[in-house]
Amino acid sequence: MTIREEIERRRTFAIISHPDAGKTTLTEKFLLYGGAINSAGSVKGKATAKHAVSDWMEIEKQRGISVTSSVLQFTYGGCCVNILDTPGHQDFSEDTYRTLMAADSAVMVIDGSKGVEAQTRKLFKVCAMRHIPIFTFINKMDRDAKDTFDLLDDIEQNLGVFTCPVNWPIGSGKDFKGIYDRDSKEVIQYFDTQKGTKEGTETRVPIADTEKIIGEIGQDAYDKLMGEIELLDGASEAFDLGKVQKGELTPVFFGSALQNFGVEIFLQAFLRMALPPTARRSDQGLIDPVEHDFSAFVFKIQANMNKAHRDRVAFMRICSGKYEAGMEVRHVQSGRVQRLSQPQQLMADDRKILTEAYAGDIIGVFDPGIYSIGDTLCMPKENFRYEGIPTFAPEHFARVKQVDTMKRDQFVKGIRQIAQEGAIQVFQEYNTGMEEIIAGVVGVLQFDVLQFRLKSEYNVEIKLEMLPYEHIRWIANPEEVDVEHIVGTTDMKLVKDMKDRPLLLFINPWSPQMVLDRNKGLELTEFSKNNTFENI
């Protein structure tokens, strides 16, 4: 196969949902169809989303890859599919956001009885920011679900995207009879015998065969279905692949992952509609996945995956070309040319050493401590950067103090490394060195993780002193203003981030505006400038 053919058959997507909507179950069924596993129940890690903090810490200590996002690859219908699994736990959300940056499309799993939930709303915002196609699977139709029109309305209202049902459920719960496929105009009947198999009997009856349909699903269900189809054909957005691929319209599918119903139909349609890797923006224009030689960016760093070796793995998304074993690449941010050491592919809990990989694939590389999230790798002869991964504004801040001042070096090293991984953000007083360290996090659980990891991985004990700040603004034009003489508010604190960029912390939500009013020419932004996507 040529490099072009290899790349064009790749489909890389992230699977997102609110915890418990059925993401793990659906992933497992995909793998079953792809022949990557032989029986249901072999994908590990779904329990992690449900663990209480204390349990979770224990898991975090062991650092199984099931805790954070893992990558699964399988082949189906000639396509090479990469699924980026995302942890459902709320406090892992930043990690999930980054994973979405590495995906070309997203599959959103929604529980039919619950509709759009908080976590989905948040994740969706990131997909929308990237304009990636989103495919919706409304799951658990074997349980009583909300009214179908209400579910679609919920998605449109909450997520601001148009919906186009590709198929339509006939009842739900005990009365679930199957789905109506709008394209082929057939009813695909549901029998609850398909659980755990990939064969599953699938019976299709044309809707035009009225007598047979009524015989199978009953007069009431038939009448309701016909009414709904009429309404749907008149009211719903027409299917438009162009809009789907721009993320403006989400195709919606219904089924039951647990009962293995509607899953293969969804997978087939998804592979037909989703795009292979497309060009990505860099500081030197668009980088075409096929025309360009190897390039990649780091979207995630995970330390201590193997406790015995204290290793750090940098996960990279290949954006163009082909990776070959032993290849030399340029790490743009450090300017170094190096060999990628033992790239791996991670399949659930297994790792395998890779000899080749293509644009669209994810590889894990041992990191001697040089990579940061968002870094670019390219061929030695080239020197461009992919646009950064946005850092989400922390909402909680704490002063971090070490208990034993003798361990200063380990403390600084630990804090730096954990910050490089993107688990926390670190700020310092604007004019001093590392004397005072302020950690900022999106979810408070990350503070516990920081404390725990510094103790277990770096043998450093810390005390956290919570600070009242809740709002953060980077100074967007530090070269144009006198940063040290900004006229502030009483609740303001001037600090700098790890890259020495100045920023302001505030207690009150109205203070940033007051500071803007008091300082002509000052520009503030909620995201650090170098990390910003144009359209945030």
Binding residue for ligand G4P, selected from 7, 10, 12, 24, defined by CB under 6 A? 24
Decide whether 37 or 357 has the Cβ nearer to ligand G4P: 37
Strands 10-17 and 105-111 come out as parallel
User: Interface with ligand G4P includes 280 (CB under 6 A)?
Assistant: no
Decide whether 43 or 318 has the Cβ nearer to ligand G4P: 43
User: Interface with ligand G4P includes 94 (CB under 6 A)?
Assistant: no
Among residues 455, 419, 422, the alpha carbon closest in space to that of 437 is found at: 419
The alpha carbon of residue 450 and the mean position of all alpha carbons in its chain are separated, in whole angstroms, by 22
Task: Output the six-digit token pair for 455.
Answer: 């103790």
* Distance in angstroms (rounded) separating the CA atoms of residues 525 and 246: 27
Nearest distance, CB of residue 145 and ligand G4P, angstroms: 10
User: Interface with ligand G4P includes 142 (CB under 6 A)?
Assistant: yes
Nearest distance, CB of residue 346 and ligand G4P, angstroms: 18
Nearest distance, CB of residue 416 and ligand G4P, angstroms: 33
User: Interface with ligand G4P includes 89 (CB under 6 A)?
Assistant: no
Binding residue for ligand G4P, selected from 66, 69, 99, 139, defined by CB under 6 A? 139
Binding residue for ligand G4P, selected from 6, 9, 10, 25, defined by CB under 6 A? 25
Q: Which residues lie across from 328 on neighbouring strands?
A: 339
Task: Output the six-digit token pair for 249.
Answer: 């319209």
Task: Output the six-digit token pair for 107.
Answer: 């599959």
Nearest distance, CB of residue 18 and ligand G4P, angstroms: 7
Nearest distance, CB of residue 452 and ligand G4P, angstroms: 24
Binding residue for ligand G4P, selected from 19, 218, 443, 478, defined by CB under 6 A? 19
User: Interface with ligand G4P includes 49 (CB under 6 A)?
Assistant: yes
Decide whether 207 or 258 has the Cβ nearer to ligand G4P: 258
Decide whether 26 or 492 has the Cβ nearer to ligand G4P: 26
Nearest distance, CB of residue 138 and ligand G4P, angstroms: 10
Using CB under 6 A, which of the segments 70-78, 138-146, 192-200, 334-342 binds ligand G4P?
A: 138-146
Nearest distance, CB of residue 152 and ligand G4P, angstroms: 19
Using CB under 6 A, which of the segments 1-9, 15-23, 195-203, 429-437 binds ligand G4P?
A: 15-23
Binding residue for ligand G4P, selected from 11, 46, 280, 473, defined by CB under 6 A? 46
Using CB under 6 A, which of the segments 16-24, 117-125, 449-457, 476-484 binds ligand G4P?
A: 16-24
Contact 161, 249 (CB under 8 A): yes
Decide whether 66 or 376 has the Cβ nearer to ligand G4P: 66
User: Interface with ligand G4P includes 140 (CB under 6 A)?
Assistant: yes
Q: What is the 3-state secondary structure (H, E, C) of 177-226?
A: CEEEECCCCEEEECCCCCCCCCCCCCEEEECCCHHHHHHHHCHHHHHHHH
Decide whether 168 or 397 has the Cβ nearer to ligand G4P: 168
Decide whether 136 or 139 has the Cβ nearer to ligand G4P: 139
Using CB under 6 A, which of the segments 140-148, 282-290, 317-325, 377-385 binds ligand G4P?
A: 140-148
User: Interface with ligand G4P includes 455 (CB under 6 A)?
Assistant: no
Binding residue for ligand G4P, selected from 21, 103, 365, 437, defined by CB under 6 A? 21
Strands 249-254 and 134-139 come out as parallel
* Distance in angstroms (rounded) separating the CA atoms of residues 422 and 170: 45
User: Interface with ligand G4P includes 96 (CB under 6 A)?
Assistant: no
* Distance in angstroms (rounded) separating the CA atoms of residues 359 and 518: 49
Using CB under 6 A, which of the segments 6-14, 139-147, 368-376, 438-446 binds ligand G4P?
A: 139-147
* Distance in angstroms (rounded) separating the CA atoms of residues 531 and 392: 10
Non-local (6+) Cβ contacts of 405 within 8 A are none
Using CB under 6 A, which of the segments 14-22, 194-202, 211-219, 431-439 binds ligand G4P?
A: 14-22
Contact 436, 86 (CB under 8 A): no
- C-alpha angle 235-253-46 in degrees, rounded to nearest 5: 145
Binding residue for ligand G4P, selected from 88, 262, 390, 440, defined by CB under 6 A? 88
User: Interface with ligand G4P includes 330 (CB under 6 A)?
Assistant: no
Q: What is the 3-state secondary structure (H, E, C) of 250-275?
A: EEEEECECCCCECHHHHHHHHHHHCC
Amino acid at 104: D
Among residues 18, 32, 12, 17, the alpha carbon closest in space to that of 258 is found at: 32
CA distances from 495 to 51, 112, 228, 433, 473 (A): 36, 46, 58, 11, 10
User: Interface with ligand G4P includes 119 (CB under 6 A)?
Assistant: no
* Distance in angstroms (rounded) separating the CA atoms of residues 451 and 359: 37
User: Interface with ligand G4P includes 143 (CB under 6 A)?
Assistant: yes
Nearest distance, CB of residue 449 and ligand G4P, angstroms: 20
Non-local (6+) Cβ contacts of 201 within 8 A are 191, 193, 194
- 128 membership: H or E segment, kind and range: helix 118-130
User: What's the residue count for the chain?
Assistant: 536
As a whole number of angstroms, the longest Cα–Cα distance in the chain is 84
Give the count of residues interacting with ligand G4P (CB under 6 A): 19
For residues 206-265, which are near ligand G4P according to CB under 6 A? Answer: 256-259
> What's the number of CA atoms in the CB half-sphere (13 Å) around residue 382?
19
Decide whether 169 or 374 has the Cβ nearer to ligand G4P: 169
Non-local (6+) Cβ contacts of 459 within 8 A are 407, 410
Q: Report helix angle 148-159 to 118-130, nearest 10.
A: 60
Indicate the DSSP class of residue 90: G
Nearest distance, CB of residue 144 and ligand G4P, angstroms: 10
Residues near ligand G4P (CB under 6 A) are: 17, 19-25, 46, 49, 88, 139-140, 142-143, 256-259
